[in-house]
Amino acid sequence: MASFYGFEPNNPLFLGTARYPSPAILADAVKRSGTEVVTVSLRRESGGEGAGQAFWELIRELGVKVLPNTAGCYTVKEAVTTAQMAREVFGTPWIKLEVIGEEDTLQPDVVGLIEAARILSDDGFQVFPYTTEDIVVAGRLVDAGCEVLMPWGAPIGSGRGLNNLYGLRTLRRHFPDIPLVVDAGIGLPSHAAQAMELGYDGILLNTAVAKAGDPPAMAEAFALAIRAGRLAFEAQPIEARDMAAPSTPVMGKAFLA
Protein backbone atom coordinates (compact mmCIF):
# COMPACT_ATOMS: atom_id res chain seq x y z
CA MET A 1 0.00 0.00 0.00
CA ALA A 2 1.08 3.54 -0.72
CA SER A 3 2.15 5.83 2.06
CA PHE A 4 0.43 9.18 2.35
CA TYR A 5 2.91 11.17 4.40
CA GLY A 6 3.57 8.07 6.49
CA PHE A 7 -0.05 6.92 6.72
CA GLU A 8 -0.72 3.61 5.00
CA PRO A 9 -4.45 2.93 4.80
CA ASN A 10 -5.67 -0.58 4.00
CA ASN A 11 -8.55 1.01 2.18
CA PRO A 12 -7.52 3.76 -0.23
CA LEU A 13 -11.00 5.32 -0.54
CA PHE A 14 -11.02 8.93 0.64
CA LEU A 15 -14.60 10.04 1.22
CA GLY A 16 -15.92 13.60 1.21
CA THR A 17 -18.43 14.55 3.89
CA ALA A 18 -20.58 17.17 2.15
CA ARG A 19 -24.18 17.03 0.98
CA TYR A 20 -25.34 13.73 2.47
CA PRO A 21 -29.02 13.55 3.40
CA SER A 22 -28.00 13.47 7.07
CA PRO A 23 -24.93 13.01 9.27
CA ALA A 24 -26.28 9.59 10.24
CA ILE A 25 -26.27 8.50 6.60
CA LEU A 26 -22.76 9.88 6.20
CA ALA A 27 -21.67 7.80 9.22
CA ASP A 28 -23.24 4.68 7.68
CA ALA A 29 -21.46 5.33 4.39
CA VAL A 30 -18.11 5.65 6.18
CA LYS A 31 -18.72 2.43 8.11
CA ARG A 32 -19.94 0.38 5.18
CA SER A 33 -17.11 1.45 2.92
CA GLY A 34 -14.46 0.95 5.59
CA THR A 35 -12.92 4.24 4.51
CA GLU A 36 -10.12 5.44 6.77
CA VAL A 37 -9.88 9.06 5.68
CA VAL A 38 -12.64 11.64 5.24
CA THR A 39 -12.28 15.11 3.77
CA VAL A 40 -14.00 18.05 5.41
CA SER A 41 -14.51 21.51 4.06
CA LEU A 42 -13.84 24.23 6.54
CA ARG A 43 -15.32 27.33 5.01
CA ARG A 44 -18.93 26.34 4.52
CA GLU A 45 -19.39 24.94 7.98
CA SER A 46 -17.78 27.72 9.95
CA GLY A 47 -19.47 30.84 11.21
CA GLY A 48 -18.29 32.06 14.55
CA GLU A 49 -16.77 30.56 17.62
CA GLY A 50 -17.70 26.92 17.96
CA ALA A 51 -20.68 27.34 15.66
CA GLY A 52 -19.90 24.21 13.65
CA GLN A 53 -18.90 22.27 16.76
CA ALA A 54 -21.74 19.76 16.62
CA PHE A 55 -20.80 18.70 13.09
CA TRP A 56 -17.11 18.39 14.05
CA GLU A 57 -18.11 16.16 16.93
CA LEU A 58 -20.04 13.90 14.55
CA ILE A 59 -17.00 13.72 12.26
CA ARG A 60 -14.67 12.96 15.16
CA GLU A 61 -16.96 10.20 16.38
CA LEU A 62 -16.40 8.43 13.05
CA GLY A 63 -12.91 7.60 14.33
CA VAL A 64 -11.23 8.14 10.97
CA LYS A 65 -8.46 10.48 9.87
CA VAL A 66 -9.59 13.90 8.73
CA LEU A 67 -8.19 15.53 5.62
CA PRO A 68 -9.38 19.14 5.73
CA ASN A 69 -9.74 20.84 2.37
CA THR A 70 -9.76 24.36 1.02
CA ALA A 71 -12.79 23.78 -1.23
CA GLY A 72 -14.14 26.88 -2.89
CA CYS A 73 -10.97 28.97 -2.54
CA TYR A 74 -10.13 31.03 -5.61
CA THR A 75 -6.90 32.72 -4.56
CA VAL A 76 -3.60 31.66 -3.03
CA LYS A 77 -4.18 33.89 -0.03
CA GLU A 78 -7.65 32.50 0.62
CA ALA A 79 -6.40 28.92 0.35
CA VAL A 80 -3.44 29.52 2.65
CA THR A 81 -5.60 31.23 5.27
CA THR A 82 -8.19 28.46 5.10
CA ALA A 83 -5.44 25.84 5.47
CA GLN A 84 -4.09 27.59 8.55
CA MET A 85 -7.56 27.74 10.10
CA ALA A 86 -8.08 24.06 9.30
CA ARG A 87 -4.81 23.11 10.99
CA GLU A 88 -5.95 24.90 14.11
CA VAL A 89 -9.44 23.39 14.11
CA PHE A 90 -8.44 19.82 13.31
CA GLY A 91 -4.94 19.66 14.73
CA THR A 92 -3.55 17.99 11.61
CA PRO A 93 -0.79 19.09 9.21
CA TRP A 94 -2.73 17.44 6.34
CA ILE A 95 -4.43 19.72 3.87
CA LYS A 96 -6.20 18.95 0.62
CA LEU A 97 -5.28 22.03 -1.33
CA GLU A 98 -7.78 23.38 -3.82
CA VAL A 99 -7.23 26.65 -5.64
CA ILE A 100 -10.06 26.93 -8.11
CA GLY A 101 -9.36 28.79 -11.35
CA GLU A 102 -12.59 28.67 -13.29
CA GLU A 103 -16.12 28.81 -12.04
CA ASP A 104 -17.87 26.59 -14.60
CA THR A 105 -15.46 23.68 -14.61
CA LEU A 106 -14.06 24.27 -11.11
CA GLN A 107 -10.72 23.32 -12.58
CA PRO A 108 -7.64 24.05 -10.55
CA ASP A 109 -5.65 27.22 -11.03
CA VAL A 110 -2.41 25.31 -11.30
CA VAL A 111 -0.22 28.41 -11.12
CA GLY A 112 -1.83 29.48 -7.85
CA LEU A 113 -1.80 25.87 -6.68
CA ILE A 114 1.99 25.57 -7.03
CA GLU A 115 2.52 28.83 -5.18
CA ALA A 116 0.14 27.88 -2.36
CA ALA A 117 1.67 24.39 -2.14
CA ARG A 118 5.12 25.90 -1.67
CA ILE A 119 3.95 28.33 1.02
CA LEU A 120 2.12 25.61 2.93
CA SER A 121 4.88 22.98 2.59
CA ASP A 122 7.42 25.50 3.89
CA ASP A 123 5.07 26.15 6.78
CA GLY A 124 5.07 22.45 7.75
CA PHE A 125 1.86 21.34 6.05
CA GLN A 126 1.57 17.98 4.33
CA VAL A 127 -0.13 19.02 1.13
CA PHE A 128 -2.51 16.92 -1.01
CA PRO A 129 -2.88 19.16 -4.08
CA TYR A 130 -5.96 18.93 -6.31
CA THR A 131 -4.42 19.28 -9.75
CA THR A 132 -4.84 18.29 -13.38
CA GLU A 133 -3.06 15.38 -15.09
CA ASP A 134 -0.42 17.78 -16.49
CA ILE A 135 2.97 16.23 -15.82
CA VAL A 136 4.88 19.51 -15.84
CA VAL A 137 2.57 20.93 -13.18
CA ALA A 138 2.93 17.67 -11.27
CA GLY A 139 6.70 18.03 -11.31
CA ARG A 140 6.45 21.58 -9.99
CA LEU A 141 4.18 20.45 -7.20
CA VAL A 142 6.69 17.78 -6.20
CA ASP A 143 9.42 20.43 -6.27
CA ALA A 144 7.21 22.58 -4.05
CA GLY A 145 7.24 19.82 -1.43
CA CYS A 146 4.14 17.74 -2.25
CA GLU A 147 4.60 14.03 -1.55
CA VAL A 148 1.14 13.13 -2.85
CA LEU A 149 -0.60 14.26 -6.05
CA MET A 150 -4.33 14.32 -6.65
CA PRO A 151 -5.18 14.72 -10.34
CA TRP A 152 -8.77 15.12 -11.40
CA GLY A 153 -10.65 12.48 -13.33
CA ALA A 154 -13.15 15.05 -14.61
CA PRO A 155 -14.63 18.32 -13.27
CA ILE A 156 -15.80 18.22 -9.65
CA GLY A 157 -19.25 16.71 -9.27
CA SER A 158 -19.59 15.92 -12.99
CA GLY A 159 -19.52 12.14 -12.54
CA ARG A 160 -17.91 11.70 -15.95
CA GLY A 161 -15.15 9.36 -14.85
CA LEU A 162 -11.64 9.46 -16.28
CA ASN A 163 -11.74 12.09 -19.01
CA ASN A 164 -8.14 11.74 -20.12
CA LEU A 165 -7.07 8.16 -19.71
CA TYR A 166 -3.90 8.72 -21.69
CA GLY A 167 -2.90 11.69 -19.52
CA LEU A 168 -3.56 9.82 -16.29
CA ARG A 169 -1.56 6.80 -17.51
CA THR A 170 1.32 9.08 -18.50
CA LEU A 171 1.25 10.77 -15.10
CA ARG A 172 1.44 7.39 -13.41
CA ARG A 173 4.44 6.36 -15.52
CA HIS A 174 6.25 9.65 -14.89
CA PHE A 175 5.80 9.50 -11.16
CA PRO A 176 6.06 5.84 -10.24
CA ASP A 177 7.06 6.63 -6.64
CA ILE A 178 4.64 9.43 -5.79
CA PRO A 179 1.29 8.32 -4.32
CA LEU A 180 -1.40 9.36 -6.80
CA VAL A 181 -5.06 9.75 -5.94
CA VAL A 182 -7.76 10.45 -8.50
CA ASP A 183 -9.76 13.28 -7.00
CA ALA A 184 -12.99 14.56 -8.56
CA GLY A 185 -15.20 13.55 -11.46
CA ILE A 186 -15.78 9.94 -10.44
CA GLY A 187 -19.41 8.90 -10.98
CA LEU A 188 -19.41 5.11 -10.89
CA PRO A 189 -17.52 2.36 -9.13
CA SER A 190 -16.26 1.23 -12.56
CA HIS A 191 -14.51 4.60 -12.95
CA ALA A 192 -12.76 4.04 -9.64
CA ALA A 193 -11.81 0.49 -10.59
CA GLN A 194 -10.40 1.78 -13.86
CA ALA A 195 -8.16 4.28 -12.06
CA MET A 196 -6.94 1.61 -9.67
CA GLU A 197 -6.22 -0.72 -12.61
CA LEU A 198 -3.95 2.03 -13.99
CA GLY A 199 -1.94 1.77 -10.80
CA TYR A 200 -3.37 4.72 -8.93
CA ASP A 201 -3.02 4.56 -5.16
CA GLY A 202 -6.37 5.90 -4.09
CA ILE A 203 -9.66 7.51 -5.02
CA LEU A 204 -11.19 10.61 -3.49
CA LEU A 205 -14.89 11.22 -4.08
CA ASN A 206 -17.92 12.82 -2.53
CA THR A 207 -20.85 13.55 -4.82
CA ALA A 208 -21.05 10.06 -6.36
CA VAL A 209 -21.77 8.64 -2.90
CA ALA A 210 -23.50 11.57 -1.15
CA LYS A 211 -26.05 12.12 -3.92
CA ALA A 212 -26.69 8.45 -4.70
CA GLY A 213 -30.13 7.18 -3.77
CA ASP A 214 -28.60 4.92 -1.12
CA PRO A 215 -25.27 6.49 -0.11
CA PRO A 216 -24.09 3.70 2.26
CA ALA A 217 -24.68 1.02 -0.40
CA MET A 218 -22.90 3.13 -3.02
CA ALA A 219 -19.97 3.70 -0.64
CA GLU A 220 -19.63 -0.05 -0.22
CA ALA A 221 -19.83 -0.54 -4.00
CA PHE A 222 -16.95 1.92 -4.41
CA ALA A 223 -14.88 0.15 -1.76
CA LEU A 224 -15.37 -3.17 -3.54
CA ALA A 225 -14.53 -1.68 -6.94
CA ILE A 226 -11.40 -0.04 -5.58
CA ARG A 227 -10.28 -3.33 -4.07
CA ALA A 228 -10.98 -5.13 -7.34
CA GLY A 229 -9.09 -2.52 -9.34
CA ARG A 230 -6.09 -2.63 -7.03
CA LEU A 231 -6.00 -6.41 -7.06
CA ALA A 232 -6.20 -6.39 -10.86
CA PHE A 233 -3.29 -3.96 -11.06
CA GLU A 234 -1.17 -6.11 -8.78
CA ALA A 235 -2.14 -9.19 -10.78
CA GLN A 236 -0.61 -7.60 -13.90
CA PRO A 237 -3.35 -7.37 -16.53
CA ILE A 238 -2.82 -8.58 -20.06
CA GLU A 239 -2.34 -6.07 -22.86
CA ALA A 240 -5.22 -5.40 -25.22
CA ARG A 241 -4.61 -6.67 -28.77
CA ASP A 242 -6.24 -6.20 -32.14
CA MET A 243 -6.74 -9.82 -33.17
CA ALA A 244 -8.34 -12.72 -31.39
CA ALA A 245 -6.03 -15.05 -29.52
CA PRO A 246 -7.66 -18.40 -28.84
CA SER A 247 -7.76 -19.16 -25.18
CA THR A 248 -7.74 -22.84 -25.98
CA PRO A 249 -4.69 -23.70 -28.05
CA VAL A 250 -5.27 -25.82 -31.13
CA MET A 251 -1.93 -27.52 -30.76
CA GLY A 252 -1.99 -30.45 -28.40
CA LYS A 253 -5.73 -30.83 -28.64
CA ALA A 254 -6.90 -34.42 -28.22
CA PHE A 255 -8.51 -35.95 -31.26
CA LEU A 256 -11.78 -37.57 -30.46
CA ALA A 257 -12.87 -39.74 -33.29
Partner 1 sequence: MAAASTPYEKMNVAVIGAGVVGLTCAAELLGRGAHVVVHERGPGIGAQSCSWYAGGMLAPWCEGESAEEPVVRLGQEAACWWERHAGGVVRQGTLVLAPSRDRVELGSFGRRTSHFDEIDREAITALEPDLAGRFSRGLFFREEAHLDPRKAIAALAERLVAKGGVIHFGSGVEAADLDADIVLDCRGLVARDVLPDLRGVKGEMLLLRSHEIGLSRPIRLLHPRIPLYIVPRDDGLFMVGATMIESGDRRRISARSMLELLGAAYALHPAFGEAEIIEIGTDARPAFPDNLPRLIRRGRVIHVNGLYRHGFLLSPAMARMAADAALNPQARPEMLHDLAA
Contact residue for partner 1 among 1, 44, 60, 231 (CB under 8 A): 44
* Contacting partner 1 within 59-118 (CB under 8 A): none
Of positions 2, 7, 34, 52, contacts partner 1 by CB under 8 A: 52
107 vs 121 by CB, closer to partner 1 = 107
253 catalytically annotated: no
Buried b (16+ CB within 10 A) or exposed e, 220-233: bbbbebbbbbbeeb
- Say which of 31, 96, 211, 253 is annotated catalytic: 96
Contact with partner 1 (CB under 8 A) among 2, 211, 228, 233: 211
| Minimum CB–partner distance for residue 22 and partner 1 (Å) | 4
- Of 12 and 159, nearer to partner 1 (C-beta) is 159
DSSP state string for 91-118: --SEEEE--B--TTT--B-HHHHHHHHH
51 is an interface residue for partner 1 by CB under 8 A = yes
Instruction: Report the distance separating Cα 233 and Cα 36, nearest Å.
Output: 21
Rounded CA gap, 180 and 137, in Å? 14
Does residue 135 interact with partner 1 by CB under 8 A?
no
Question: What gap in Å lies between CA 126 and CA 132, rounded to an integer?
Answer: 19
**Closest approach of partner 1 to the CB of residue 64, in Å:** 16
Q: Is 46 in the site for partner 1 (CB under 8 A)?
A: yes
Q: Which residues contact 201 (CB under 8 A, 6 or more apart)?
A: 1, 2, 4, 12, 179, 180, 181
Distance between CA atoms of 160 and 106, rounded to whole angstroms? Answer: 14
- Please tell me whether residue 25 binds partner 1 under the rule CB under 8 A: yes
165 binds partner 1 (CB under 8 A): no
Which of 7, 31, 45, 217 is in the footprint of partner 1 by CB under 8 A?
45
Footprint on this chain of partner 1 (rule: CB under 8 A): 21-25, 27, 44-48, 50-55, 58, 157, 207, 211, 213
Active site residues: 96
